[in-house]
Chain A
């Protein structure tokens, strides 16, 4: 604001601070806070006590540009005591307090528009103009805040609705959980029953060499799969290291070993290399790779998930059906004919239609019927498998419902948690809102309370910049400063560097929008933006009298 030449010019002034001070009695009060003026009066003996009371000096020594009081209180109007402060009245504007290190340094402080921080004649009084501008800006800001706060109030209403929705959802889910719990208990009883009846014969059947071999095969496959996955992870991690090396290596290091590594990597990954000849030759390779291997990870995993006991029983049933086409045909065929097998199955389905009040009775009856049928050989051991499957299904459903309930309860807890959506839940509205900023080379996207990413605009990859981790922990929880910064951490790791992270600095504005992106430290990003969520209706979004207000002068 002030050209440095003024500093030099002022140096030429023959006037010194101390000379001017002792000449003018009013200058005794230079720099004194209005509320403290009464403290700056001499005793009848012409002395004065330092404000902390531990030293008495002569009144002449107040504001004489020499520091006498250890608390600095004798020099409110000079720079003699560095631990003191200076008050400028700024008539026509608002008064301000500055550090006494800024008094009489040849520079007109912007905080002191009346120019009182420098000897007379050095700094012009620009308070009228500054005050006017300040008031205009304050008005504009207030207007913005007002508009923003209206939007913000809709966020609060959203949170209220969300609260109700969550509450009713939670109530419904609680009932559902109860129901699912019962279902699970029923299935468990059935399963236990079925299992107890088949335990002995099952144990025998499991001695079958075929079964034993199957179990071993399965274990072997599992072990192979684990090893394969470890190798795959290792390969992926190595590729990441090399890709990062290629993208991030610093040519300053002029390191042939690094260059060799990059070249080697390009050679292994013809797709990654932009060189034409390699892209041509890579096509057939790509085609070859597309031929589908039926034994992909999923297929193997599915295979490994097979219930061997069920298989054993199915196998048994399969073999016995073949055997019994003649011998035992008389047993199964009639049932089949009259559709009893289906009926037995449907016995298990029945339970879903049985009213709760009748369930114990039903259960009893069913157990008896099934027991009878089993004894008769009508219901075969395959029923155990089915019972198990049913029990599994019941457990899964219960777990799903419980986790839904848990999530909803969490959401409700976070809704008014100051660490999350604020005491009035206003931020909830913005959860999942994705804001982006295009720098030309990259697009930065921050999905609030979710993940931040950096995407290359030139077809390069995208990197996670981290997940929402916290608000501004250096400010007291719940304050506007606290909500003016979000921190996203643990993004993709940088080559030879840290995990990427980003801070999102927000101020009040009528829109949710990002305004700038920077990388103050390698892989540590910073975006700025605005949001109505920071527009507070009554109080300023920065408390009055804070350093922020001072800076704006």
Chain B
């Protein structure tokens, strides 16, 4: 009896996050100080006043008039100097920087350098005006006013006379100045983890600053889990309060396993005990509902209300905790507590959700236009164990005609986890293997982790070590030694520019300059960067000690959250430059930071095969998208555990509607490739993967738009209907790009139907049956069938959905297939849609080698319905076509090799949903073509049931051409 019991206990234990491995706010010195400060302010209430103020006499407005600097003093430490700088940018955003000047040391001030895509352009239309009490500026275009009050320092962004964002309104701004460890003070000697405990009794000396700082001195040293952080620079934390009066919803701040509309962490009925923590960590078996830190960190929030959306981007790379409170249902207060670094805050004025997306993207960059294959289905497992295994998996997929594009290799390919090196027993022929997979237009992704086995026979480590490219321990010399997969390991310091060139050299396939480089690979190989938080098994909180030293002498503390992004960045550059001309890279990363969206995809890490994790994956991916990381997804099936066939099937339906669609599984799980499932599950999964493939034109088109605007590919309800409060917390249904597809994947067992919220008086159509669901202006829930084989997927009336419906083995093999257009008429019998295509691999689109079409269906009263295709790029004059690129010249005369290559591709099927009556004739360029009409409900009516369907048979119009189909009545 006892043995099974013990196993049950072990198993139960294995399915829980090790909370004690990670700090709570209470266990983190600076977070505890920050929260105590907030508590004192709250207790003091109206008598609380920020000690920080601007020296009005020091204000210096720049010659250009759009920025100024000023000295800031704190009444707590009048001898310490701070400088404030405020800039107004041409896109309407404002930037506020504050740093200690002439201090004992320098605060880390390079976060923005890594996060921003470029230095923002200053506005030439905004000028600052100073009075005795304040300095302010108004954006003449938007009417947004930005005001800096001098005493106490208070910064507010207002619109129409109403404050929308306020910094230091609650007086929690505090920049701990650098000090000497033995600075004479009335403080007791530092005692480890004893802050705030009862030993004050001895003699409570009256500290003049205790009202603000408390009566306990900041610690110089603290321990956790048996490891001590010596904090050689001493306390240097930064506390900021940012309020959003009039905004009752807060989004963003990934990565946390929580709802999109962020639950509160402080105040009355706070859902979570701790603040949201931003500290990239490898959290083993994380909880599906928690404020704990995860793999990535984006210090960006959107505050939303019926009247506007505003955002704040806090460019900070050190560990940061964020308390969220809604003091009233229509206001939000946040408190940001960071361990180190300067204050560098961007105010994004909105006023719509899309505006905030675009403003943030202007700062940190838009998501890169991915390789086309990267949007298809990825098959991963820890591990496909040999090249034979790889070939067999591919053959099994083909045998069952289940499409896939990418097969992944996890860590087991590399002997002793020496990445780049092949285990000769199991992978004797990697290049042949890659070519066998590539023969079907497919790719492979191979894992390269950031830890290098300390073994001088390992050429990668040897070379990094000889070149001095490795992260250093606290002493600042030698190599930091940590424990990861290979045992004793070292980490490359990507803050060192020399490491980038060296890293690029490793990925070269051809040539031989004597150094090791990856000859055993091909250009069909792409990279997975895992464990880049970085994960260090024997480090504090499973990561690097904060005292480690990076290039430039900066502590790891200062750059921790940035670190993982640089690894992905270096890899993306390396993959891109394997060929000349460069090709678009594909690199998946687990850690991320503002700017990561420019580099590739991320996933939500090591989730569990449970319904809870499946469900929370959707808001997590939505939140990532809100924060710029739109190319993200959760492991289909759950990394840990063995999902039952129903769960796995549903998870495929979730994954097929995520931007990054990958199935992955832990080494201890049973194999679960779709071909292994019994019927009906196998066929249902095959159908949903095929559905994803048929919709690839929609996904790619949505990514084009994201690459230009930064508007996420997955659009939560509130971003499409920003004035409808009923949609502000909906994070289970979402739109795909601007296509008009609305999906609500099922994430629970035994479901037969589900409710979808419709916020407008428009017909929506079931994607599969053309059944009409009628929305209402006041908003309404409609019931949509959702048994196991039914994905709740609707087309918004007014949309045209281009698809490619011929099942193929991989997306590359669909390149010449014809298109189907689904035209879903709105209540006024109009519809439009878009299609973007290019070669999917190169940067030739920058030269205009692309096809971008606009489809319109328009019916005039009593007249014909005209369905037309126009050149979208020409319509825009070649402006902002893709990824921030203008294409000039543009038009039918400009060279366009891609258009030439697909000029034979036609539209084979046109389906029109919701016409009012049976047509009399359908023609293209005067020639009649065949059609079929099924009676049903019209868009322009209130009748229920299946919509009328007009099927136009093979109009044979070419996808690259302008054309017009006329439906006469």
Contacts and interface: CB of A to CB of B under 8 A. Distances in A.
A497 interface: yes
Contacts of A252: 284, 485, 537
Residue of A1, A4, A15 with most chain B CB atoms under a 10 A cut-off = A4
B906 A518 contact: no
A104 B385 contact: no
A338 interface: no
Interface in A98-114: 99, 101-102, 104-107
Interface stretch (B100-108, B432-440, B940-948): B432-440
Contacts of A255: 18
Which of B14, B395, B668 has its CB near the most chain A CB atoms (within 10 A)?
A: B668
Interface in B361-407: 385-386, 388-389, 395, 399, 401
B899 to A, nearest CB: 11
A22 B653 CA distance: 40
Contacts of A102: 809
B904 A101 contact: no
Nearest to A245: B10
How many A residues touch the partner, as a band?
A: 35 or more
Contacts of A522: 667-668
Contact of B809 (A4, A14, A101): A101
Classify the interface of chain B: helix, strand, loop or mixed.
loop
A16 B908 CA distance: 13
Contacts of B399: 547
B425 A439 contact: yes
Contacts of B2: 234
Interface in B595-609: none
B903 interface: yes
A66 interface: yes
B202 interface: no
Interface in B783-822: 806-809, 812-818
Contacts of A47: none
A251 interface: yes
Contacts, number: 110
A11 B440 contact: no
A529 to B, nearest CB: 14
B6 interface: yes
Nearest to B438: A4
Interface in B52-85: none
B641 interface: no
B901 A12 contact: yes
A7 B524 contact: no
A253 B441 contact: no
A318 B18 CA distance: 72
Interface in B8-26: 10-11, 14, 18, 21
Given A82-B807, A522-B668, A106 B6 contact: no
A496 interface: yes
A241 interface: yes
Interface in B504-543: 524, 537-538, 542
Contacts of B667: 522
Interface in A2-35: 2-4, 7-8, 10-12, 14-19
Interface residues of B, number: 57
Interface string B926-964: 000000000000000000000000000110100000000
A396 to B, nearest CB: 35
A65 B908 contact: yes
A473 B32 CA distance: 63
Given A65-B908, A101-B808, A521 B435 contact: no
Interface string A76-98: 00011010000000000000000
A254 B954 contact: no
Interface in B890-908: 900-906, 908
B816 A104 contact: yes
B860 interface: no
A520 interface: yes
Contacts of B900: 12, 14
A253 B640 CA distance: 13
B401 A101 contact: yes
B674 to A, nearest CB: 16
B3 interface: yes
Contacts of B542: 254
Contacts of A15: 904
B766 to A, nearest CB: 21
A19 B816 CA distance: 13
A107 B440 contact: yes
B373 to A, nearest CB: 11
Identify the interface centre among B385, B395, B399: most chain A CB within 10 Å of its CB: B385
Contacts of B816: 10-11, 16-17, 104-106
A519 interface: yes
B902 A11 contact: yes
Nearest to B839: A8
Contacts of B777: none
Interface in A264-317: none
Contact of A518 (B389, B435, B812, B954): B389
Contacts of B670: 521
A82 B439 contact: no
Given A3-B435, A11-B901, A440-B425, A79 B806 contact: yes
B879 interface: no
A118 to B, nearest CB: 10
B854 interface: no
Interface string A184-197: 00000000000000
A64 B930 CA distance: 14
Contacts of A64: 954
A435 interface: no
A333 interface: no
B723 interface: no
Interface in B655-708: 667-671
Contacts of B485: 251-252
A228 B849 CA distance: 82
A16 B425 contact: no
Nearest to A498: B670
A12 B816 CA distance: 10
Residue of B6, B438, B439, B670 with most partner-chain A CB within 10 A: B439
B386 A18 contact: no
Of A254, A255, A547, most buried by chain B (CB within 10 Å of CB) is A254
Contacts of A440: 425
Interface in B150-205: none
A415 B161 CA distance: 96
B499 to A, nearest CB: 26
Interface of A: 1-4, 7-8, 10-12, 14-19, 64-66, 79-80, 82, 99, 101-102, 104-107, 234, 237, 241, 251-255, 439-440, 496-497, 516, 518-522, 547, 551
Given A518-B389, A547-B399, 17 more contacts: A2-B439, A4-B441, A14-B900, A18-B906, A66-B954, A101-B807, A101-B809, A102-B809, A104-B816, A106-B813, A106-B816, A234-B2, A241-B6, A251-B483, A255-B18, A496-B11, A520-B671
9 cross-chain pairs, A with B, having the tightest CB-CB distances, nearest first: A16-B904, A105-B813, A254-B537, A66-B954, A12-B901, A4-B438, A11-B901, A101-B807, A82-B807
5 contacts: A7-B441, A14-B903, A65-B818, A107-B440, A518-B389
